[in-house]
Each structure stands twice: as C-alpha cells, then as structure tokens.
Amino acid sequence: MHPQVHAPRFISCVDYIEALEKCHQQEYLKRCFGICNNQKEALSKCLHEARLETQKHLILKSREKQKGFRESWKKMDEEAYGEEEFLKKLLQREKAKRGES
C-alpha cells in the first residue's frame, strides 16, 4: 500500500483501503483476472477526491493569507502617504506637471 494512504487526510477512504487489501488476499489466479479492479478504481477515486479537498482547503487558506498581506501593505502605504494615498497622488500630479517620468 502507498505510504500516503495512511495519512490522516485519507480517513474517509479507509473502507476502500480495507476492501482492496481483502481482495488482494485472494488467490493469485483470481487476482490476475482483474477481480480487484473495481476496488482499486473506487480507492483511486476516493484518494483523488480527498486530495482535491485538501488542495481546495490550502488554496482558501493561502488566499486568506494573501488578503492579510495586502491589507498590511495598504495600511503601511496609508501611514506613509495618508488616507487613500493622497500624498502619493499629489506627488505624481506634480511630477506630471513638470514633465518628469
């Protein structure tokens, strides 16, 4: 069995794992004719869904973290240039009047 199958995030697939292991304990000739294919496909589907769920959770967590960073940067800019970056916009207008880049 794959080592990652025993990870806590795959608890929902325990029944499929046990069914496949039980099938693999049957006689060799039965297994070589694909008697365990249904259990294997069900386990693969379950593992895939569990991985997607974990991935979705990590993406949401990352977005929240990025949102916090953006808010921190905005707060730092407001402290440096005033609310809604008024001072920065004023400086940009003055540069434009003078013809500076």
Over its length of 101 residues, how does the chain's per-residue pLDDT go in tens digits? 555 666 777 888 889 988 988 988 888 877 778 888 999 999 999 999 999 999 999 999 999 999 999 999 988 877 877 777 777 788 888 888 888 65
Q: What is the pTM of this model?
A: 0.63
Check residue 90 and give its pLDDT: 83
Check residue 3 and give its pLDDT: 54
Check residue 46 and give its pLDDT: 93
What does the DSSP assignment read for 36-83? THHHHHHHHHHHHHHHHHHHHHHHHHHHHHHHHHHHHHHHHHHHHH-G
